[in-house]
Amino acid sequence: MFEKSVRLFELFGFEVKIDPTWLIIAVLITWSLASGLFPTFYEGLEPGVYWWMGLAGALGLFVSIVFHELWHSLIARRFGLPMRGITLFIFGGIAEMNEEPPSAKAEFFMAIAGPLSSIVLGFIFLGVASLSRILAWPLPVSAVFDYLKFINWLLAGFNLVPAFPLDGGRVLRSALWKWKDNLAWATRISSEIGSGFGLLLAFIGILNIIGGAIIGGIWWLLIGLFLRNASQMSYQRLVIRQTLEGEPVKRFMRERPSAVSSSTTILDLVENYIYKYHYKLFPVVDNGRLLGCVRTKEVKDIPKEEWGRHKVGEVLKPCKSNINTLSPDTDATQALAIMNKTGNTRLLVSENSHLLGIITLKDLLRFFSMKMDLEGRNPVGLSDREIRDQVADDE
């Protein structure tokens, strides 16, 4: 998810990105406000004014969602939880994190921060709307602030529903976690509630479609299906991580991985390595020493007709720790987190500048699948393909 997100800006050290799918909801909101809500409650204005009001309302919603997710991220950072940033997509926004909260307390405060921030922001918009009437500002201005007040309170109310992965579901999970001191059990219970709530929303959407409210019905159906899928994925991902926890990557690595020398020509690299193995990154090794890495990205910067005249040593880049290179004693869960964060499904294993092997996503998933099969534990009936989907894209 979010592979094509576009970086907008950085806020308090967090990268704010927007997924192209958010443009869909932005257009829909602008249209619905300009042609439906504002003309209904504020009659007699020019059509162009309604469209400006709709655009302002959509931009205000953008700010509100970023504000909501920012507080999730700030509290998470306060508890030492690394955050990838904030991404807006078709169903709202998400504060992306690589790990589970370190404690039930951290989970609670991180989850409740979002709805509380939306409630506070709603009161701020209420105050501005009231002030605009006292100062006799134009009607469209106070109307937009009234809408933003309402939408923030609605956002807070919806997120407080105790259905994981909504904020209310995370609050519920934190309480169950504290009660039983069992994160997996708490996640399973809250995820089942979240899945049921998603089905309820999908059912409401179907009823709306049958009743003639097609656009609204489709929207509720999509939200319901998204919540159901997200709740199930959250539990499945947790089980995968807990299964791999404590296992060093040297247990899974493949020795003698495909490597190239610095004297290999770019043409030879493309024809006999990239086209043969279909990898986007290859280690560069001379006399047993890891010199660096060469990626397809560097190859594309060289004109094809010059591939035979250039060598790998001219374009190799240093292998970066915690991005594409690990030590053999690194925990498998950390390798999994790096794969999920960077999108790299193959990580090099090295020690003292010597390449020892390579760890792939397939290796980790194969171990997980085998362990679940031998121990008779297959959470919520995961297939091999579903297991792959929960972690990252396959090779």
Q: Which pLDDT value is given to residue 139?
A: 93
Q: Which pLDDT value is given to residue 332?
A: 84
- Each of the 395 residues of the chain gets a pLDDT tens digit; together they read 445 778 888 888 888 888 888 888 888 889 989 988 899 999 888 999 999 999 999 999 999 999 999 999 999 889 888 777 888 876 677 877 767 788 999 999 999 999 999 999 999 999 999 999 999 999 999 999 999 999 999 999 999 999 988 999 999 999 999 998 888 888 889 999 999 999 999 999 999 989 887 877 888 888 889 888 888 888 877 877 777 778 888 888 888 788 889 899 999 989 998 898 888 888 888 888 888 888 888 888 888 888 888 898 888 888 877 778 888 888 888 888 788 777 778 888 888 888 888 888 888 877 777 776 676 555 544 444 444 454 443 33
Q: Which pLDDT value is given to residue 296?
A: 87
Residue 229 vs residues 65, 80, 118, 192: alpha-carbon distances, Å: 22, 28, 25, 11
Q: Which pLDDT value is given to residue 376?
A: 59
**In whole angstroms, what is the distance from residue 217 CA to residue 196 CA?**
18
Q: Which pLDDT value is given to residue 98?
A: 67
Annotation: CATH topology of 249-362: CBS-domain (3.10.580)
Tell how strand 346-351 and strand 354-360 pair up: antiparallel
Q: Which pLDDT value is given to residue 3?
A: 53
Q: Which pLDDT value is given to residue 377?
A: 57
Percentage of residues of the chain with pLDDT beyond 90? 33
pTM: 0.74
Tell how strand 83-89 and strand 14-18 pair up: parallel
Residue range 248-302, pLDDT digits in tens: 888 888 887 888 898 999 999 899 988 988 888 888 888 888 888 888 888 888 8
**Token digits of residue 130:** 């009231």
Domain ranges of the chain: 6-160, 249-362
- For the chain, give the secondary structure using H, E and C: CCCCCEEEEEECCEEEEECCCHHHHHHHHHHHHHHHHHHHHCCCCCHHHHHHHHHHHHHHHHHHHHHHHHHHHHHHHHCCCCEEEEEEECCEEEEEECCCCCCHHHHHHHHHHHHHHHHHHHHHHHHHHHHHHHCCCCHHHHHHHHHHHHHHHHHHHHHCCCCCCCHHHHHHHHHHHHHHCCHHHHHHHHHHHHHHHHHHHHHHHHHHHHCCCHHHHHHHHHHHHHHHHHHHHHHHHHHHHHHHCCCEHHHCCEECCCCECCCCEHHHHHHHHHHHHCCCEEEEEECCEEEEEEEHHHHHCCCHHHHHHCEHHHHCECCCECCCEECCCCEHHHHHHHHHHHCCCEEEEEECCEEEEEEEHHHHHHHHHHHHHHCCCCHHHCCHHHHHHHHCCCC
